[in-house]
């Protein structure tokens, strides 16, 4: 982790959390967060965003959504615009998570449009990239993530308004992770792809998160990797104790 980049510990709750347990989790994270030097983001399901924003007031913990629509308003039944997320108290939004790319057929152009809308509304975009197991086995991991960065990170992205998360699809929820040297190789490649798309200064300062089976037991090793600037955590973000224990491992 570069000393000049403040680490980000972000929790993607996915489709988990009803009012009682979800808000208790947000409250516990808020209560514990002050003790750490990293930035925290929690991304509950859309149904809990407005209430979670009340719980997080004054804690310094940022609130993120898990998606947004590319259009500002209109006839898009069931969808939520970036401005609506801001209105509900969000400062961040995850875009292009592999589960949305797979479940909802989101391609790079869709993710780019959503990320562009998020930035226009003043949100920080957390843009996700990552290869499938077949792509890794075929030796294509670096090419796949570079193409996803080129296709999904907006041209007006900066280190202040955009975070990129590397989440190998095969590591999500599986208990398996790439080796530290494999992760470093991908993160360094992502940083150079960002330098190619934006500029070297933005690339050097942008936070790159690792996601995929990060937990208290492996966080110290993963967060010590040079170009890993934090984590995007799924399963282990659902218990405040585990989520905060990961933050404890930030160097």
- By beta-carbon proximity to ligand 13P, the closer residue of 32 and 212 is 212
Q: How far is the CB of 169 from ligand 13P (least distance, A)?
A: 9
Mark the segment that binds ligand 13P (CB under 6 A) among 51-59, 146-154, 178-186, 209-217: 209-217
Q: Is 187 a catalytic residue?
A: no
Element (H, E) at 101: helix 98-103
Q: Which of 48, 70, 233, 240 binds ligand 13P (CB under 6 A)?
A: 233
User: Per CB under 6 A, does 97 bind ligand 13P?
Assistant: yes
Q: How far is the CB of 209 from ligand 13P (least distance, A)?
A: 9
Of the candidates 135, 167, 187, 189, the residue annotated as catalytic is 167
Mark the segment that binds ligand 13P (CB under 6 A) among 33-41, 55-63, 74-82, 207-215: 207-215
**Residue 41: strand, helix, or coil:** strand
Q: Is 97 a catalytic residue?
A: yes
Contacts 24+ apart (CB under 8 A), 240-246: 240/25, 240/28, 240/29, 240/32, 241/28, 242/215, 242/216, 243/9, 243/11, 243/29, 244/29, 244/32, 244/33, 244/35, 244/36, 245/216, 245/219, 246/9, 246/214, 246/215, 246/216, 246/219
Residues that bind ligand 13P (CB under 6 A): 12, 97, 167, 172-173, 211-214, 232-236
């Amino acid at each position: 982790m570069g000393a000049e980049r403040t680490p980000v510990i972000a929790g993607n709750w996915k489709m988990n959390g009803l009012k009682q347990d979800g808000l208790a989790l947000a409250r516990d994270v808020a209560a514990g967060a002050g003790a750490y030097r990293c930035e925290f983001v929690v991304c509950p399901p859309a149904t809990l965003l407005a209430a979670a924003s009340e719980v997080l007031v004054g804690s310094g913990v940022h609130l993120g959504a898990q998606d947004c629509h590319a259009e500002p308003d209109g006839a898009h039944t069931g969808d939520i615009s970036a401005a609506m997320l801001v209105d509900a108290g969000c400062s961040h939004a995850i875009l292009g998570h592999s589960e949305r790319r797979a479940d909802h057929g989101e391609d790079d152009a869709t993710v780019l449009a959503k990320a562009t809308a998020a930035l226009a509304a003043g949100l920080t975009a957390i843009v996700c990239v990552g290869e499938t197991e077949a792509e890794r086995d075929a030796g294509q991991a670096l090419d796949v993530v570079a193409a996803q960065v080129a296709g999904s990170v907006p041209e007006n992205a900066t280190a202040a308004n955009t975070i990129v998360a590397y989440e190998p699809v095969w590591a999500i929820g599986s208990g398996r992770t790439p080796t530290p040297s494999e992760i470093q190789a991908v993160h360094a490649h992502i940083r150079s792809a960002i330098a190619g798309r934006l500029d070297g200064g933005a690339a050097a300062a942008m936070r790159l998160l690792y996601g995929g089976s990060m937990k208290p037991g492996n966080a110290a090793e993963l967060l010590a990797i040079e170009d890993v600037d934090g984590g995007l955590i799924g399963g282990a973000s659902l218990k405040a104790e585990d989520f905060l224990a990961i933050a404890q491992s930030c160097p």
